[in-house]
Amino acid sequence: MQLKPTRGVLVLVTGLLTLTSRPAVAAGLEFDEQTAGPMFRYFADSDHVGVKSYMADYNMTLPSQVGMSMHWNTEQVTIPAVHAPVGSQEAVDAITTASRPISGNAYEDFVKVRNEFQGGVTRGPAELDYYVSNESDYLAQQIAGRYDLDLNEQLNLSFGSSYGWDDIEPLADDDTQTGPSTKTTLHMNAVATQVVSSTTMVRYGVEYNVVEGLQHNPYRNVYAGGTNVPERHPEHRERRDAFVKLNRFFDNRSSVRLSYRLYNDDWGIVSHELSSKLSQYITQGMFVRYQYRYYTQTPARFYRDEYLTTNGVDGYLSGDYRVGPLSAHLFGLSLNFDLGTMASSMPVFGRTALVIGYERYFNSNNYSADFLETGLDFRF
Amino acid sequence: MSHGRGLRLWHALMVVCALLGASGCAQVRAYQRERLTDRIMSFKAEAREDARLTKSFEAREGSTGGNGGAGGGCACN
């Protein structure tokens, strides 16, 4: 399959030319500051799904308030083979609800690679981004724009919007035959960032998304009317959320961030998210961060574990736990080292930062996952 | 929780946000903002980490958002 990004690249190139087209910049080409950094992230969950992510970021600031950023990510995703005995009910259940194509042999690992690139350019208060992600059965592209406005010395307003368009071509599957399809996402947001005092900042905002097109996993089936049939979600979804985040600095060189998000959509899902982060300097240039997050959601109106008939609820069927009732917890711990201040006698470490982090996620569906990441940031 | 109650909560939160925006805050001069620009206070410094986590959550939960899309300013100017 050849899914190729085209429109997005044109938009990005046009934006780059427009936002950076100033004679002074072209003649000067002096970089005020550049940062670059590789990062590795490993994910493993209780279903034995594994994801290895190899990332790299590069940012530079040019004169005249022009900046450019790039982000690459290559991921290898491994979805394990079915381990239940052939023909057993457990195997049938595993195959039916698999979020992977089952073609020929469900008893082999399914491995796929996903490549992602994001490029952006800023000039003064304006920013333009292009994003593309490509894998064997999915091509996602997005353009995004943002404008920041300083109302006064205490308050900044930001207005952003993005448009994404996805091409989906499911791979061959023995028990589900979903044809090629598309999905579009229109996003808008308004965010305010306010200085409350010399130690406290607050950020709050609202977001709105309209999604059109294929929105269910094309490989999943659900039990209905005594058999199993492909899942089917509505092709229209309106999603909105409001959030508030509070950051406060304390005299013992620590900070606390508290945040809350309320979300709902026209599928009937209402969710609440509460999270907290505590960051504490241990020495100059080294701090530790503790994190906790609680999440809960109500199910979509059409969600059922099993349906009486193949008509489902209003024609829609889903046994996907992501649109079912759910609560989840996340605990995290990370260490951040500024190697330049810790090893000032070794110039090789000057202006280099190292981060090591671990997160543990678990939810009410007896699902758990571990995230491990490590990365470097070079400033030059 | 019913869908209607969720909508009411959402509207209430927006009203709170509007009141926050309209409220007056103590004037904080540029030389008083050292702590606000510290790495452990910066919204921008955490944006990359937040985006990665949000992506992980979106693959396992039914909601999205909370990062303000493309981001926001720092109110530091």
Query: CB–CB of B57 and A196 under 8 A?
Result: no
Per residue in A37-53, pLDDT (tens digit) is 999 999 999 988 899 99
A-interface mutation test, from B50, B60, B77, most A Cβ less than 10 A away: B60
Task: Give Dmax over CA atoms of chain B in angstroms.
Answer: 48
Q: How far apart are CA A97 and CA A104, in angstroms?
A: 16
**Domain around A73:** 5-379
| Residue A140 backbone dihedrals phi, psi, to 5 degrees | -115, 135
Q: Is A83 exposed, middle or buried (0-12, 13-18, 19+ CB in 10 A)?
A: exposed
Say whether residue B19 is in contact with chain A using an 8 A CB cutoff.
no
pLDDT the model gives residue A174: 67
Q: pLDDT band at A25, cuts 50/70/90?
A: very low
pLDDT at A251: 93
Q: Do A207 and B72 touch (CB under 8 A)?
A: no
Tens of pLDDT, residues A284-341: 889 999 999 999 999 999 999 899 999 999 999 999 889 999 999 999 999 999 887 7
Q: Do B64 and A209 touch (CB under 8 A)?
A: yes
What are the pLDDT digits (tens) for A367-379? 999 999 999 988 7
- For residue A81, the 8-state DSSP code is P
β pairing state of A200-213 and A221-224: unpaired
Chain A: give the shortest CA distance to residue B15, in Å. 11
Between residues 149 and 208 of chain A, which touch chain B (CB distance below 8 Å)? 149-150, 153-158, 160-162, 187-189, 191-199, 201-207
> With an 8 Å Cβ cutoff, is B47 touching chain A?
no
CB contact under 8 A, B17 and A244: yes
Residue of B nearest to A159 (CA): B72
- The phi and psi torsions of B40 (rounded to 5 degrees) equal -80, 0
**Contact between residue A11 and residue A343 where contact means Cβ atoms under 8 Å apart:** no
Predicted confidence band of residue B7 (pLDDT cuts 50, 70, 90): low
CB contact under 8 A, A263 and B16: no
- CB-CB under 8 Å, B73 with A158: yes
Question: For position A322, which CATH number holds?
Answer: 2.40.160.40
Instruction: Say which of B1, B16, B74 has its CB closest to residue A193.
Output: B74
Residue B68 lies in a domain: no
Q: Is B16 on the interface with A (CB under 8 A)?
A: yes
Nearest to B71 among A154, A158, A209 (CB): A158
State pLDDT tens for residues B22-65: 555 668 887 888 888 888 998 887 887 888 888 888 888 999 88
The distance in angstroms from the start CA to the end CA of chain A is 41
Residue B6 pLDDT exceeds 70: no
Least CB-CB distance to B35: which of A125, A156, A198? A198
The answer to whether A71 touches A36, Cβ cutoff 8 Å, is no
Question: Across the strands, what pairs with A6?
Answer: none
Residue B53 lies in a domain: yes
Q: Does B37 touch chain A (CB under 8 A)?
A: no
Range of the structural domain that residue B38 is part of: 34-60
Q: Residue B56 falls within a domain, yes or no?
A: yes
Of B38, B39, B72, the CB nearest to A193: B72
Q: Who has greater pLDDT, B51 or A117?
A: A117
Query: pLDDT tens across A71-96, in order?
Result: 999 999 888 887 766 667 677 766 66
- pLDDT tier at A17, thresholds 50, 70, 90: very low
| 3-class state of residue A47 by DSSP | coil
Joined together, the tokens standing for residue B56 give 């992980």
Q: How many domains does chain A have?
A: 1
Could you report the predicted ipTM of this complex, rounded to two decimals?
0.81
A12: pLDDT strictly greater than 80: no
**Cα nearest neighbour of A301 on chain B:** B3
Q: What's the total number of domains in chain B? A: 1
Residue B57 CA to residue A200 CA, distance in Å, equals 28
Q: Do A127 and B52 touch (CB under 8 A)?
A: no
Q: How many residues does chain A have?
A: 380
- Can you give the pTM of this predicted structure? 0.84
Partnered with residue A123 across adjacent β-strands are A66, A126
String of DSSP letters for A314-351: TTBBB--GGGS-EEEEEEEEEEEEEHHHHTTT-GGGTT
| Inter-chain CB proximity B77 and A150 less than 8 Å | yes
Set of chain B residues whose Cβ sits within 8 Å of the Cβ of A161: 69
- Tell me if chain A has a CB within 8 Å of the CB of B63: yes
